[in-house]
Structure 1
């Protein structure tokens, strides 16, 4: 540890530097803890907002049920030689499906 006082970075406003210089070691530790937590919170919020913008779908299909997310896709499942449409989407590590309708034989 140096015996010289630390030099603040150039991008810190003078009033903040002056306030910190006048603070007790206990207050400085409190400020450091809060500043670190606040920075992490703001970074997380920015990532979530960016992800939400990427995941945003412009139009929701008219036949999409209210309890099915807009990112769902339609898949066909065959059960006992019958074919059915299902809405399908990912929830975390699992894939969720919801029945839509039978596949018409003339399609």
Structure 2
């Protein structure tokens, strides 16, 4: 391992590099973990928008009913010109 500090990515803004240089190793690891999770989240949202079309992706409600897990999504069924909305999620092999 080199004793020289790593070179910063050219695309990274200078103010971000300067801020990171002031962080402790523990904070840098926290930032790295958060950045990785945030990148995965944004990539997943981009894939959903691409697959479903931007108009079909809805924000998750903040207040789910008590018996509905946070991983649930709202499913819309249209039968005889009537729309039915219900929560749907997977538990093991079952869809509830």
Deviation at 1:3, TM superposition (A): 1.6
Return the TM-score normalized by structure 1.
Answer: 0.51
Pairing 1:57-68 to 2, within 5 Å after superposition: 64-67=81-84
Deviation at 1:66, TM superposition (A): 2.5
Counterpart Cα distance in 2 of 1:32 and 1:51: 28
Long gaps (5+) in structure 2: 57-79, 85-96
Q: Could you say which structure has the higher helix fraction?
A: 2
Paired position in structure 2 for 1:46: 46
Task: Give the paired residue count.
Answer: 63
- Larger-Rg structure: 1
Paired position in structure 2 for 1:99: none
Structure 1 segments (4+ residues) deviating >2 Å: 63-67
Counterpart Cα distance in 1 of 2:33 and 2:21: 17
Q: Could you say which structure has the higher strand fraction?
A: 1
Return the TM-score normalized by structure 2.
Answer: 0.56
